[in-house]
Structure 1
Amino acid sequence: MWPPHSFQRHLCVIFLTSAIIASLFVIKNSKTQIKSPQHALTTFHPKTPLHLRPEIRNKTGEIIHILGLFELTTKWGRRPEGLSEIAAAELAIKHVNRFNILPEYTLKLIINDTQCDPGVGIDRFFHAIYSKKTIVMLLGTSCSNVTESLAHVVPYWNILQVSFGSTSPTLSDRKKFPLFFRTVAPDSSHNAAKVNFVKHFGWRVIATFCQSENKFLLPLNNLITHFENENISCVTTITFSLDNYKEQLKVLKNSDIRIIIGALSSELAPAIFCEIYNLGMYGPDYVWILQDRQEVWWNVTTHCVSLELSKSVEGIILVSDYNIVGENNTSISGLDNARFESKLNVSKVSKYASLAYDAIWAMALSLKDVLDFGQEFNYRRSDIVCEFVLRMSSLNFMGISGPLKFIGADRVGSSVLRQIQDGHVRDIALFDSDSGELDFECKGCSRVSWWNTQTPIAQRILKVSLITIPKALFYFVIFVAIMGILFAVLFLYFNLHFRRMKSVKLSSPKLNNVAVVGCILVYLSVILLGFDTSTVNKYVDELCTVQVYLLSAGFSLVFGSMFAKTYRVHRIFTHSGGPSKVKDKLLKDKQLIVLILVPLIIDAIILALWVMIDPLERQLYNLTLEINSEERGVVYQPQVQVCRSQNTSGWFVAVYGYKGLILIMGVFMAWETRHVKVQALNDSQYIGICVYSAVFSAIITVLTSFISEYVIFSYLARTLSILTSTTLTLFLLFSPKLKSVFGRYSSQDPIMQSMGLKIEYNTRRFIKNDPKEQILRLEIQNKVYKCELAALDLEITRLEGLLQLSRRSSEGGIFTIYKDDRNNPEICFRKEEWASWPTQFSKTHQEFASENKLNNENQQKSLIDEMKCFFNKTMQISPNTTNEFIHNDFLKLDVVEQRHKSNPEFFYEMSTLKDNNLARAKSELNVTFFRSFR
């Protein structure tokens, strides 16, 4: 067997060279005769206990040297436990020699300190090898790294090594370490006890949580093999390190396995169990099974408070060696544990002291009957060391640390299972390696304590339940939606039947029809929103797409039509300088309907791309697990069906993003036309309410999407908000029309009614006393009074001119008024007008804050200016022109017309002509409005 490492090869070359020289010298002087090897007894049971035999001392026996390497010091300082280990080994040597276990031979222990350093340990070994004393066997050590280094070297000198404290799983490899044994049980020796414990409580699934180091991974891999042989499934195997143990614990929790086999160091255990407390992975639903490291690590409160750590470790299971001689058994030396510790006479006894004692006894029993008196061992006697290995492998005796036997290099002894109960570690069961059974009725053992006296469940049975909308709620929503559709159909019939009435015609019935169709589509989408897909499982994906398109198209039609109506009113009252300009604008119903169809086409294009690129599919969304307190072994997984694609949010932004712009523009148009008083033409106030309700509905829909766990509440809030917004929009559109057709003002002029006026015997009066209307009326009256004052000033000037003319006529002048001059208001007397309405003489350039100003008056004419244009078509003759005619003698005073000057009918004729002009202007304005809405 040649070492794989170069360093070892170099050492071996040096040592082999030295060994060859020494061997030649030994062979030359050798007188040893080798007997044929005899097999050791399978079990060593002395007929008479050794402590009862008389003491036998070898006076002429040959000395057999055993090298003992111990850890008396480490890099952290002195190790007082090492003294107890040395004392135990020397006590065993003393007992073996006293009871003459090896006739004609005397054991002697050579002691040295390795300082728990492999280099120092190798140096101490070679120092003993090259001494004058022949080392037959090696005892040590308790440091696994030192033991591994020595176990690689000792086969070259045919020296058997027995360790009393190294638990590294690597040492179990018989191919690497053929001459190695250990009396300390490694972690893998307790695998049988762990498997039997899990089987006892009927757990069929487990999980492992292992620190990522070989000394933990290798025993755990062997344990998983044992579980698989017993048909116990290891569902999850998780390894962790100091950097990621928190994340790995979360992964372990998500696996929902409650029986966990842990393999971790005592240094990291407090931090891990503090995090276990934070994650809630303790209590009645979890069982942690750990290897007992002898240290009381749960008292370390560095990572969390003591109360939290004590709660998290409560109930965990600890598995360790049972290094105690039972009451019904007697150790090979006749000592019990109490007497053994008293004979050591040290202040601090190591946990490996009894193991060191039993290791010396194992060496002595393997030497028995192999060497006879007169035989001499040397480092070339591989046959003798093979006999040592055979006898060591067949040993089975009761030591101070309990029953001792070997399988391969490892000791197989009894195991004890302990549980932390109320902060104290109590034994709950013993595992006998010989019988392979757990004893829960052992003396001094407590009963296993579970939370609420119920055995934990290894894994809950998962039952999936699909949550659907309750039938009663679904039928209620359908009933409301159907009623909304019926009302929409009735309004549609009303709109078609009374479309030629003035009040209905002014409200754009064609656009109202489009809005009604949009409302119907929205109602249909609400019905599909809670539809039970289990009845039409084949067409679920198509229903998802249809639902989205109906809602989007309905919104586009409803608010598109309202936006178009508001846009037309805005154009009329802000960009129409006269009837000819209105005709040039985009104001006809057919053109506006085409404008409404634009967002509808955009929706169709986006939905078509959506279906082709990333189609909507039905997906099951898991809600929070529900645990029934009465059925602890069952967990319910509620699920809901949702329509989703890979990029659902992006497609929804594309579909509904531009609709937000329509809402903003609609609000802007409604605000701009808020002062227009023609109610049949203007829906600005209603549009504002509809927009606010739509925004409120959108907010509720977005909020409910974040509380998907409350399926029923989310569905109810979403459907009621959509139904409320749609129904409110529908009734706000048609309630004024219903009132105008069937109400008390149905026979009145919509223009007069919208201005707050009514006709009573051809007298205009205000219907209500609104403060704003009163202010407007007072401002208009003030304006009229100023115009009348200006007219009176002109009258005074005219009268003064006539007075001068009369003076001249008395001097012989002639004054003539022709018939064509009767329409001249500066010559003829005018009829007084009502002070509550402006006349043709009330033209003024003053402005008032309460007047409607939809556009810049300097750039375009208002409606009042156009009306004044109709009133001022007659030619006016100024006083200067009159005086010019008088002075040039072109005016002839006619006697017949002098009679008309004093006749009151002359003034009545002038007043009638003015009223006719006013009526003609009003009719021309109405014709302009009606032409624009055709």
Structure 2
Amino acid sequence: MWPTRSFQRHLCVLFLTSAVITSLFIVKNSKKSEELNVYPSTAGFEGNETLVRPFYMNGGGDHSRSRHIIHILGLFELTTKWGKRPEGLSEIAAAELAIKHVNQFNILPDYTLKLIINDTMCDPGVGIDRFFHAVYSKKTIVMLLGTSCSNVTESLAHVVPYWNILQISFGSTSPTLSDRKKFPLFFRTVAPDSSHNAAKVKFVKHFGWNVVATFCQSENEFLLPLNSLITDFENENITCVTTITFSLDNYKEQLKILKDSDIRIIIAALSSKVAPTIFCEIYNLGMYGMGYVWILEDRHDFWWHSSEKCSSLKLKSSVEGLILISDYNVVGENMSISGLDSEKFETELQLSAHKISKYAGLTYDAVWAIALSLKDVYPLFEQEFNYGRSDIVCEFVRRMSSLNFMGVSGPLRFIGADRVGSSALRQLQDGRVRDIAVFDSESNELNFKCKDCQPVNWWNRQTPIAQRILKVSLISIPKSLFYCVIFVCVMGILFSVFFLYFNLHFRRMKTVKLSSPKLNNVAVVGCILVYLSVILLGFDTFTMNKYVDELCTVRVYLLSSGFSLAFGSMFAKTYRVHRIFTHTGGPSKVKDKLLKDNQLIALILVPLVIDAVILTLWVMIDPMERQLYNLTLEINSEDRGVVYQPQVQVCRSQNTSGWFVAVYGYKGLILIMGLFMAWETRHIKVQALNDSQYIGICVYSAVFSAIITVLTSFMDEYVVLNYLAKTTSILASTTLTLFLLFLPKFKSVFGRHNSLDPVMQSMGLKIEYNTRRFITNDPKEQILRLEIQNKVYKCELAALDLEITRLENLLQDRRSSGIFTVFKEEYVKLDNEKGKSCSWPVYYCKSQDNFFSENKLNERKSIIDEMRHHFINNIRIYPKTDSLLDHEYLSFCATKYRNKSHPEFYHKCGSKATVLTRAKSELDFSLIRSFK
């Protein structure tokens, strides 16, 4: 119904006019789109000008109208989800160049190839959408060129058989596409990984390797080619010992399993993203360099330059000598079917100013394969071709399968869906990829003398061994060395028994008694235990019986307890000397610091009890067992296929280090304390009483021996050196301790010596001939003597005052009584004779005995007289008394110092006993009492 109002009519006219103009514009664009083969896409490829550029032999438009057009759909990856892909443009340029050359050379008379281009964005959904838009257009698609993304190619390969369209890919390497049952109309000019299996087999066989191992990433892309490779190896009598698959979660464990298999020729199948991580771990495990050959597919992306898992230097070291296999895309002296070689082809592509893709040459050859397969079939096009003509498609497949021509990427022929071409073998040498051989698929030969090929660079210029024959050898200590150690130990035990007898027999003699015979006995017993442990130290290398485990336990018990007894006795002596000599108080404080032998023996038992507790827990919780420790492999220089595995027998438990820390820990503290006290008392010379100098040397040697023993515990690989160091340090320390403890006693008992008193020796004094002057070189000693001399003079003055008072009282009594009384005159005799010389003034309460200054120091006894005197006569025993300062010293003076001229003491007159006043005399008689 027409509007009644005027403005409504105007609006209707305007609307109709706009609709007509819009319709005309749409029709015009539609016609233009058909002429240019533009197909809109709902999948969204915005801004893409999908163009078909027809190429004519002579470039004339009239000539093109007289020829039939065959449309080919080309699907490329110009963009991805990560952005634009510049390599896609070079692939389009290569396809266009091939279309141009096919049309120029009139490969298909009366026919012209035209390419319809579109972008799949490397998305299967987008790729299927672009395919349907092309199929449902007015142009008939004869063949499909594409793609380089395997997932898109697989999706398309499932669909194209329903339209009887043959598909040829130039970049999809998925092994799934090789299945002819699933993809009957699929071909590809890019060689999949399985196409290099023949080259791998030839390379392995060329070097005489009869066993290999495979290491594969757990994805079908890598597993399927590897399965066919194992079959090919078996056909050539090459054994694949182990096949290991891995993921990023367990690759470290799988590599360790591979290393334990000891197979040195490894075929790996993994992606470029994972490869740097794997080879960093290979470096950590030492599975590179000499003896290892890794063979991988070359992905052409130089993944070995850097990694996040390790440094570039480590990665470079691990990939040195790596074998890479890839397509051989060099035409060589033979020209391709188009008259181009590889260099000329790349030169023409560079004119397009695009980044050249590694699939560019394969794209060029794919277009030529399409043209050649159509060459003998194009008469069928005289009839009407449609998507229902399966007979024509079968003819395409037959013709494509029989192709064999030289392309710019090398010789090209198909077996099934896969291209079979030449393979290039390369090796990483000094960080650079070098060609080493070329495998010719037609002749099935491996050529190591190809152009620009370098010699294979093996480690040390020796061909690696596929698998080594392992021979185990048990390393033992040389018998001569073992027998020498036993001889030394037996001699040490005999000397120890002799010293023990000597110590027990002469235990009451003053020289022996003052050196603590009880502690010496403990030291001797400890040394005997140490000698026994050293003997057992070498027995485990000669015995393989069931008692080896028991020997390990007994040896630890003997060595630990022997060390505790031997070093403990020396530690106790040093402790007593340190305790006394670091005291500077009066006699009462010295008496408080006295330690008797029984107390010191109780101190020695403390580490012995600790040893018993720790070792018993060790045996009960984690017993020691005999284990075979593998040393460094030894390669036979004459036969590199034989490897010797030296082994050494060791005594170990599951947590040996922990138990050693427990034992060595507290013993180390004792060693440090003993070392400290020995250093503190290094200037004390008390030879006859406590052997302080010799004890210090023994402590130092024990510390040195302990350090050597601990350090050699970590030298299991050096069996002889380890055993020699341990036994030498232990035996030297033990023997030195024995002889330093007892040789001075032998000298004092059996040697020719003067009758100088041990107490005077302990004070550092000596008597010169024909004089009574005592000489000392110690300034402190001289000051101390002057102080004591002053006290003696004061005491003499006090005594004289008392005598004067007494005499005055007698005179007074005599006057008062008036009776004459006869009495015996008492007087004080002072020794002021000039002929006598003494460094100490002496005062006595009674008349002195005659003193002869001529001493008897020159009188000597023979050794036989000494032996007769010590072994036959009775030995004097000092009686025990309640008062150290009264009875002991009176008895001592009564036997040794009857001449009353000893300069070390002074006496006070009265009813009290003799009192010792010299400072060091307190120490001397304290020691006398402690040693008793």
Q: TM-score by structure 1 length?
A: 0.70
Matches within 5 A, 1:107-118: 108-118=114-124
In 1, are the aligned partners of 2:504 and 2:517 still within 8 Å (CA)? yes
Shift of 1:870: 12
2:149 matched residue in structure 1: 143
Shift of 1:139: 1.4
Shift of 1:780: 1.9
Q: Secondary structure at the match of 1:223?
A: helix
Q: 1:174 to 1:831 in 2, by over 3 A?
A: farther
1:413 matched residue in structure 2: 421
Shift of 1:738: 1.1
Q: Encode CA deviations 1:459-511: one digit per residue, 9 max, x unaligned.
A: 44444443333344333333332222222122123223334434334444444
Specify the code of the residue in structure 2 equivalent to 1:140: G
Specify the code of the residue in structure 2 equivalent to 1:148: E
In 2, are the aligned partners of 1:370 and 1:384 still within 8 Å (CA)? no
1:620 and 2:624 are equivalent in the alignment: no
1:172 and 2:178 are equivalent in the alignment: yes
Looking at structure 1, the residues matched to 178 and 348 of structure 2 have their Cα atoms a distance apart, in angstroms, of 33
Specify the code of the residue in structure 1 equivalent to 2:497: V
2:792 matched residue in structure 1: 784
- The correspondence for 1:726, drawn from 734, 756, 759, is 734
Looking at structure 2, the residues matched to 864 and 742 of structure 1 have their Cα atoms a distance apart, in angstroms, of 32
Matches within 5 A, 1:121-160: 121-160=127-166
In 2, are the aligned partners of 1:739 and 1:746 still within 8 Å (CA)? no
Identical-residue share of aligned pairs (%)? 72
1:81 matched residue in structure 2: 90
Unaligned runs of 5+ in 1: 1-50, 52-56, 843-860, 872-910
Looking at structure 1, the residues matched to 67 and 469 of structure 2 have their Cα atoms a distance apart, in angstroms, of 71
In 1, are the aligned partners of 2:689 and 2:758 still within 8 Å (CA)? no
Q: 1:549 to 1:324 in 2, by over 3 A?
A: closer
Specify the code of the residue in structure 2 equivalent to 1:398: F
1:387 matched residue in structure 2: 394
2:749 matched residue in structure 1: 741
Q: Encode CA deviations 1:698-717: one digit per residue, 9 max, x unaligned.
A: 12222223344433333333
1:890 matched residue in structure 2: none
Shift of 1:420: 6.0
Q: Secondary structure at the match of 2:522?
A: helix
Q: Secondary structure at the match of 2:546?
A: helix
- The correspondence for 1:836, drawn from 835, 840, 848, is 840
RMSD after superposition: 5.5
Structure of greater relative contact order (alpha carbons < 8 Å, 6+ residues apart): 1
Shift of 1:266: 6.1
Q: 1:766 to 1:342 in 2, by over 3 A?
A: closer
1:519 and 2:523 are equivalent in the alignment: no
1:486 matched residue in structure 2: 494
Specify the code of the residue in structure 2 equivalent to 1:233: C
1:398 matched residue in structure 2: 405
Q: 1:287 to 1:608 in 2, by over 3 A?
A: closer
Looking at structure 1, the residues matched to 927 and 426 of structure 2 have their Cα atoms a distance apart, in angstroms, of 98
Looking at structure 2, the residues matched to 536 and 309 of structure 1 have their Cα atoms a distance apart, in angstroms, of 45
Looking at structure 2, the residues matched to 751 and 196 of structure 1 have their Cα atoms a distance apart, in angstroms, of 96
Looking at structure 1, the residues matched to 276 and 683 of structure 2 have their Cα atoms a distance apart, in angstroms, of 76
1:372 and 2:376 are equivalent in the alignment: no
Shift of 1:293: 3.9
Q: Secondary structure at the match of 1:132?
A: coil
Q: 1:487 to 1:98 in 2, by over 3 A?
A: closer
In 2, are the aligned partners of 1:227 and 1:234 still within 8 Å (CA)? no
Looking at structure 1, the residues matched to 560 and 273 of structure 2 have their Cα atoms a distance apart, in angstroms, of 62
Looking at structure 2, the residues matched to 659 and 454 of structure 1 have their Cα atoms a distance apart, in angstroms, of 52
Q: 1:332 to 1:786 in 2, by over 3 A?
A: same
Shift of 1:181: 1.8
Shift of 1:666: 6.3
Shift of 1:518: 1.6
Looking at structure 1, the residues matched to 669 and 842 of structure 2 have their Cα atoms a distance apart, in angstroms, of 43
Shift of 1:784: 0.3
- The correspondence for 1:497, drawn from 484, 495, 505, is 505
Matches within 5 A, 1:136-535: 136-174=142-180, 176-208=182-214, 215-230=221-236, 231-233=238-240, 235=242, 237=244, 239=246, 258-263=264-269, 285-294=291-300, 316-323=322-329, 346-347=351-352, 351-363=358-370, 368=376, 372=380, 375-380=383-388, 383-384=390-391, 387=394, 391=398, 394-400=401-407, 401-419=409-427, 428-440=436-448, 448=456, 450=458, 454-531=462-539, 533-535=541-543
Q: Encode CA deviations 1:654-680: one digit per residue, 9 max, x unaligned.
A: 445554565577679889999999755
Looking at structure 2, the residues matched to 340 and 665 of structure 1 have their Cα atoms a distance apart, in angstroms, of 86
Unaligned runs of 5+ in 2: 1-56, 58-62, 832-837, 847-881, 893-906, 918-922
Q: Secondary structure at the match of 1:618?
A: strand
Looking at structure 1, the residues matched to 259 and 441 of structure 2 have their Cα atoms a distance apart, in angstroms, of 33
Shift of 1:191: 1.1
Looking at structure 2, the residues matched to 306 and 508 of structure 1 have their Cα atoms a distance apart, in angstroms, of 69
Q: 1:711 to 1:839 in 2, by over 3 A?
A: farther
Q: Encode CA deviations 1:428-474: one digit per residue, 9 max, x unaligned.
A: 44434355333446677665555665433334444444333334433
1:609 and 2:607 are equivalent in the alignment: no
Q: 1:177 to 1:236 in 2, by over 3 A?
A: closer
Specify the code of the residue in structure 2 equivalent to 1:355: L
In 2, are the aligned partners of 1:143 and 1:165 still within 8 Å (CA)? yes
Q: 1:115 to 1:863 in 2, by over 3 A?
A: same
Shift of 1:616: 0.9
Shift of 1:720: 2.0
Deviates more, 1:509-518 or 1:419-428: 419-428
In 1, are the aligned partners of 2:209 and 2:465 still within 8 Å (CA)? yes
Q: Secondary structure at the match of 1:619?
A: strand
Q: 1:454 to 1:840 in 2, by over 3 A?
A: same
Q: 1:781 to 1:623 in 2, by over 3 A?
A: same
Specify the code of the residue in structure 2 equivalent to 1:165: G
Looking at structure 1, the residues matched to 844 and 661 of structure 2 have their Cα atoms a distance apart, in angstroms, of 58
Looking at structure 2, the residues matched to 455 and 376 of structure 1 have their Cα atoms a distance apart, in angstroms, of 64
Q: Encode CA deviations 1:206-241: one digit per residue, 9 max, x unaligned.
A: 455666765445434543443355423355747576
- The correspondence for 1:542, drawn from 550, 562, 566, is 550
Q: 1:172 to 1:817 in 2, by over 3 A?
A: farther
Q: Encode CA deviations 1:606-660: one digit per residue, 9 max, x unaligned.
A: 4333223211112223334445666554544443322111122333344455545
2:37 matched residue in structure 1: none
Specify the code of the residue in structure 1 equivalent to 2:711: L
Q: Encode CA deviations 1:556-602: one digit per residue, 9 max, x unaligned.
A: 332444556678899999999999x999x99576x876775565455
In 1, are the aligned partners of 2:885 and 2:916 still within 8 Å (CA)? no
Q: TM-score by structure 2 length?
A: 0.70
Looking at structure 2, the residues matched to 668 and 308 of structure 1 have their Cα atoms a distance apart, in angstroms, of 48
Q: Secondary structure at the match of 2:295?
A: strand
Looking at structure 1, the residues matched to 504 and 309 of structure 2 have their Cα atoms a distance apart, in angstroms, of 79
In 1, are the aligned partners of 2:685 and 2:692 still within 8 Å (CA)? no
Q: 1:863 to 1:593 in 2, by over 3 A?
A: closer
Looking at structure 2, the residues matched to 677 and 340 of structure 1 have their Cα atoms a distance apart, in angstroms, of 100
In 1, are the aligned partners of 2:471 and 2:643 still within 8 Å (CA)? yes
Looking at structure 2, the residues matched to 64 and 561 of structure 1 have their Cα atoms a distance apart, in angstroms, of 109
Matches within 5 A, 1:874-913: none
Deviates more, 1:182-191 or 1:761-770: 761-770
In 2, are the aligned partners of 1:162 and 1:181 still within 8 Å (CA)? yes
Looking at structure 2, the residues matched to 586 and 754 of structure 1 have their Cα atoms a distance apart, in angstroms, of 18
In 1, are the aligned partners of 2:572 and 2:604 still within 8 Å (CA)? yes
Shift of 1:200: 0.9
In 1, are the aligned partners of 2:523 and 2:569 still within 8 Å (CA)? yes
In 1, are the aligned partners of 2:265 and 2:466 still within 8 Å (CA)? yes
Looking at structure 2, the residues matched to 569 and 339 of structure 1 have their Cα atoms a distance apart, in angstroms, of 99
